[in-house]
Structure 1
Amino acid sequence: MTQELGSKPPDELVEDDLDTMTATRETLEDYTLRFAPRSYRKWSTRVVGISALGGIAYLADFAIGANVGISYGTTNALWGILIFTVVIFLTGFPVAYYSARYNIDLDLVTRGSGFGYYGSVVTNVIFATFTFIFFALEGSIMAQGLKLGLHIPLSLGYAVSTLIIFPLVIYGMKVLSTLQVWTTPLWLILMVAPFVYLVVTHPESVGQFFAYQGENGKGGFDLGSTLLAAGVCLSLIAQIAEQNDYLRFMPPQTPENKRSWWTWLILAGPGWVFFGAIKQIVGLFLAVYLIANVADSAGIANQPVHQFLEIYQNFLPGWLAMTLAVALVVISQIKINVTNAYSGSLAWTNSFTRVTKHYPGRIVFLGVNLLIALVLMEADMFSFLNTILGFYANCGMAWVVVVASDIVFNKYLLKLSPKEPEFRRGMLYAFNPVGFGSMLLAAGLSVLAFFGGLGETVRPYSPLVAIGLGVVLPPILAVATKGKYYLRRTDDGIDLPMFDEFGNPSGDHLKCHVCHHDYERPDMLKCETHDAFVCSLCLSTDKVADHVLPASAP
């Protein structure tokens, strides 16, 4: 849908413009880049919640928990995981609520939460980076399983673990929700059974776990080591954006479904961190067991496939233990990497479309995201995991904490930011210094601290730099700018109400005169040059901006 669009007669658009047809077909499948209408959101709160939680079936948590424990000891790792849990839950709650309540993904939430229409492009790149880093990490774990069980060389296993995902992600939410719901019970059984067996039959492993001092052998609590461990764990903070890619399909909240709606929002939104923390602790527990009880296991103790294989072999025949270990790895990696690939393709497409005003199709960027992940796998990113995740955590934390701070302080307490999120072109300024400036400062200084630029004493505290600045800068800048850079205009030219009697986005339909499809009220604006309406995606691809409403008079 390019705005050569805007200069063509409306009757010629659908026939002549391939870009229009591509964008329309794909966005009607999963509402890429836009508001998810209630006419499409037919899933129950339970199905949406389970689908979102299915995306956290990854085994990277086991590797992360093992790595931070091996590096810093059990005590510091556990305190670091606790910090990770508290920070993720507190920052994840407001952004998850906004996605579920207003049916938009985290990028669209970010636009209206202090970043501006183009300002949130940089956060999209941060999120896309998250998806291919963790796709590569999960793909590496899957390749390790394929090598162990089927003797497939790692380099070939990386390619297999990448290519198998592509066809599963093409059709968006409809296929992903079915996949996640049906595979979750088997995954739970395969993951929980060996851990329970180990605790029951080898109770001494619990004492070994708490006594483990890590490679440095310091033992006991050390604040610097705890914060370094927390920093690695907090690299997962952007996972809330993947949860939101599912939560945006929550049904409207009504008095009848209110309890279920809130339960699944909390469980599948910020509540994902409790499951993640448990997996990290279990991963460390299994790693310590291997180090203490299995000869020559130090080099493989942080690899989930070996962790589970060793435990399965304690109570199952060798062939069955190998089969189940490989099955667990494959199921887990497919469940998470379809989400990584799907969310990454959305993030890249969104950024590209806004910057170039051209919609190439989400499938193009699905391929781009998978290719980057494959390159990382072939470069053996697993061997320097802590450094990658520790660096990334500072950028991810700066983004999510700033958005959460804007929602809590600027929207609800100071009331300087509009309470209802705005994401449409023409309604927002290109850049808002409140969120955009806060994120750049928080990320820049925390990354500088992470690499020792502020001194070795400050280096372990880089997560606190990102979190602290991310919390305090948005309200400070909102007060300094008097909130005037949030909305470019307040009237979208449509007389119909935006929300129903329960505060849910309206289900009224209007026709877009550019692409000739009906969309719901929150996705539409009045066209500046025609006595008609235009949808948000056609506005995004309007190259000459003749559909875009002007700024309000000062």
Structure 2
Amino acid sequence: MSTASPAAPPADTDAARAATRESLEDYTLRFAPRSYRRWGPAVVATSALGGIAYLADFSIGANIGMAHGTVNALLGIGVAAVIIFVTGLPLAYYAARYNIDLDLITRGAGFGYYGSVVTNIVFATFTFIFFALEGSIMAQGLELGLGIPRPVGYALSTLMIIPLVIYGMKILAKLQVWTTPLWLLLMVIPLVYLVATHPESVSQFFAYGGQAGEGSPDLASVMLAAGVCLSLMAQIAEQIDYLRFMPPRTDANRRAWWTAVVMAGPGWVVFGALKQAIGLFIAVYVIANLDPAASATANEPVHQFLGVYAEMMPAWLAMTLAVVLVVISQIKINVTNAYSGSLAWTNSFTRVTGTYPGRLVFVLVNLGIALALMEANMFDVLNTILGFYANCAMAWVVTVATDIGINKYLLKISPKAPEFRRGMLYAVNPVGFVSMLASALASIAVFFGAFGPGVQPFSPIVAVGLAVVLPPVLAVATRGRYYLRRSDDGIAIPMVDAEGNPSDVRLRCCVTGLDFERPDMLASARSGPDGEPLFISSLALATDRTGEHLLPADPPAPGRAGAITATAALSPARVNEPETEPATRS
């Protein structure tokens, strides 16, 4: 079999090969192959949950509680948590089962090959907003503990992440596993101390009415609080960036596999909701018992923990532990923000331009935007930024979850197996694309008061409601015709093994000369020099600007020449081989 198409442009070949350097690129644009996924379910889950060590939850909980009171804040946190869990479960399952990230899931869940670019931008925005938020919190800690000016602290919190995030999952898994025990200890001690030594703090907490003096439930306040919390909905995409490396599900590991998927997937929101409640609890204690004027800084985690630590130990040790907690938390989450953001930007840029600049370029781009936000002091307008962003995040995630849950499983209009490869999908599918835009724009209009102040707090309901209703309506209206450009990729080898996991059978890409696992491959529209069939990886196809390898939209009748047998497709020497450069092969 020929190992390269003679007509393949060298620039495209170089771009495709550059993206296969998994030590740096970490499967940015494609399916994560079984040969790379060597971690057990527990390690993957711990790595994914390590990414939720951010302190922003403490700020969010304090902010909404100080604005709307404890009762409304807790109800808002609960509403948001239920929505995030329900919508996150199908996404996490698809990522772990089929080993693809949320962008690849989105493509086949109603958006199309290019349609999901808009959701990638939404997700990239999430990563730099929350990187800036965590970087701001770290700078607050450095200023308080070491006297470092905040602008310098912003720069330090950004620059220190770059060397940690370059090497992707291999380094991130170790970092998250090693730092999680210390982080948990530093976070839990203050709560246990307060409840044990100051039991009256519990009643103070539930009686706190906030700026509005709301001691009883108020629907508008609950929804405003929920709207801020729902800005975290896009966190599921960061969880999925880890979950795509889950090992195959087998009878032997089924329980551990499902536990890891649920806990590290939608289960992140349980821990997030607890952190928001703890942040408000500590803030109320600091305001009520330590310094009535502390409301100016009670939403800053470093002041929250310092206030409690100072009652437990000497001042120097309290300051040290508060700074250590802030730094560890910032590193744990911001390596994830930088990593996931680089994947999102790179994926979109490569699809639109056919050029692969490398993931590291977009690590720097994402961090540059985040640093600019920090220097602009975004922390002071946190609620407004998060409330606005929540509308976009909800529109995207709920639309994808609806397509999976209703259009795939209930109506059976959307293909159940996820499809992400160029040539197999239409450029844009109106089912998801239109649903997401319509729900986002409508909820943003409500958020900014276009329909009056009485409706304004309910923008989350508008976003979620439209994102649930529109996808099935549009799927039925279009009869599902825009989901698949082709129903057959021209290769007769099954996509999955006997246990339903993505196959690890390998085929050689005619452009790069490398071997890729079956789910990554398609038949090429071109034939080899002697008329033999050629195969192309989804990666090479993404960087092919000629389009000459794309199969036609309307496949031939069954028995066509393009569908080949397993014997012709694969020689024994090409099964389960590592992805190596062609020069290393005999």
Tell me the TM-score normalised to structure 2 length: 0.92
2:488 to 488, 491, 496: 491
* Secondary structure of the structure 2 residue equivalent to 1:220: coil
Q: Which residue of 1 aligns with 2:162?
A: 166
Distance 2:311 2:319 in 1: 12
Q: Which residue of 2 aligns with 1:537?
A: 539
Q: Which residue of 2 aligns with 1:390?
A: 387
1:346 is the counterpart of 2:343: yes
Distance 2:315 2:119 in 1: 47
2:267 to 271, 274, 281: 271
Answer whether contact 2:436 2:467 (CA < 8 A) is retained. yes
What is the identity, as a one-letter code, of the residue corresponding to 2:497? D
Answer whether contact 1:27 1:33 (CA < 8 A) is retained. no
* Secondary structure of the structure 1 residue equivalent to 2:516: strand
Trace 1:242-391 onto structure 2 (pairs within 5 A): 242-295=238-291, 296-391=293-388
Answer whether contact 1:105 1:248 (CA < 8 A) is retained. yes
Pick the structure with greater CA Rg: 2
What is the identity, as a one-letter code, of the residue corresponding to 1:310? G
Trace 1:80-99 onto structure 2 (pairs within 5 A): 80-99=76-95
1:227 to 220, 223, 226: 223
Change over 3 Å in CA distance of 1:461–1:217 after alignment to 2: same
Q: Which residue of 2 aligns with 1:465?
A: 462
Answer whether contact 1:13 1:514 (CA < 8 A) is retained. no
1:71 is the counterpart of 2:71: no
Residue-by-residue CA offset, 1:64-123 (whole Å, 9 max, x unaligned): 000000000001000000001100000000001000000000000000000000000000
2:107 to 93, 104, 111: 111
Answer whether contact 1:309 1:321 (CA < 8 A) is retained. yes
Following superposition, the deviation at residue 464 of structure 1 comes to 0.1
Residue-by-residue CA offset, 1:504-552 (whole Å, 9 max, x unaligned): 1000001111111111000000111133111111111111111111102
Structure 1's unaligned 5+ residue stretches are: 1-5
Change over 3 Å in CA distance of 1:455–1:202 after alignment to 2: same
2:37 to 32, 36, 41: 41
1:202 is the counterpart of 2:204: no
* Secondary structure of the structure 2 residue equivalent to 1:413: coil
Following superposition, the deviation at residue 21 of structure 1 comes to 4.0
Structure 2's unaligned 5+ residue stretches are: 528-532, 557-586
Q: Which residue of 2 aligns with 1:401?
A: 398
Question: After TM superposition, what 4+ stretches of structure 1 lie above 4 angstroms from structure 2?
Answer: 6-10, 26-29
What is the identity, as a one-letter code, of the residue corresponding to 1:259? R
1:552 to 545, 551, 554: 554
Answer whether contact 1:426 1:488 (CA < 8 A) is retained. yes
Following superposition, the deviation at residue 218 of structure 1 comes to 3.1
Following superposition, the deviation at residue 455 of structure 1 comes to 1.5
1:134 is the counterpart of 2:143: no
Identity percentage over the alignment? 69
Residue-by-residue CA offset, 1:257-289 (whole Å, 9 max, x unaligned): 000000010000000000000000000001101
1:519 is the counterpart of 2:537: no
Distance 1:448 1:175 in 2: 42
What is the identity, as a one-letter code, of the residue corresponding to 2:496? F
Trace 1:169-184 onto structure 2 (pairs within 5 A): 169-184=165-180
Q: Which residue of 1 aligns with 2:212?
A: 216
Distance 1:469 1:17 in 2: 43
Following superposition, the deviation at residue 30 of structure 1 comes to 1.3
Distance 1:468 1:410 in 2: 16
Q: Which residue of 1 aligns with 2:189?
A: 193
Q: Which residue of 2 aligns with 1:445?
A: 442
Following superposition, the deviation at residue 19 of structure 1 comes to 2.9
Q: Which residue of 2 aligns with 1:156?
A: 152
Aligned residues: 548
1:454 to 439, 451, 455: 451
RMSD: 1.5
Distance 2:318 2:420 in 1: 50
What is the identity, as a one-letter code, of the residue corresponding to 2:248? P
Distance 2:102 2:555 in 1: 30
Following superposition, the deviation at residue 9 of structure 1 comes to 4.8
Residue-by-residue CA offset, 1:479-519 (whole Å, 9 max, x unaligned): 11111110000110111100011111000001111111111
Q: Which residue of 1 aligns with 2:498?
A: 501
Residue-by-residue CA offset, 1:389-412 (whole Å, 9 max, x unaligned): 000000000000000000000000
Answer whether contact 2:20 2:27 (CA < 8 A) is retained. no
Trace 1:11-50 onto structure 2 (pairs within 5 A): 13=10, 18-26=14-22, 29-50=25-46
* Secondary structure of the structure 1 residue equivalent to 2:296: coil
Distance 1:467 1:101 in 2: 26
Q: Which residue of 2 aligns with 1:54?
A: 50
2:232 to 218, 229, 236: 236
What is the identity, as a one-letter code, of the residue corresponding to 1:536? S
Q: Which residue of 2 aligns with 1:3?
A: none
Q: Which residue of 2 aligns with 1:419?
A: 416
Following superposition, the deviation at residue 421 of structure 1 comes to 0.1
Change over 3 Å in CA distance of 1:457–1:230 after alignment to 2: same
Answer whether contact 2:447 2:456 (CA < 8 A) is retained. yes
Answer whether contact 1:26 1:362 (CA < 8 A) is retained. no
Following superposition, the deviation at residue 37 of structure 1 comes to 0.5
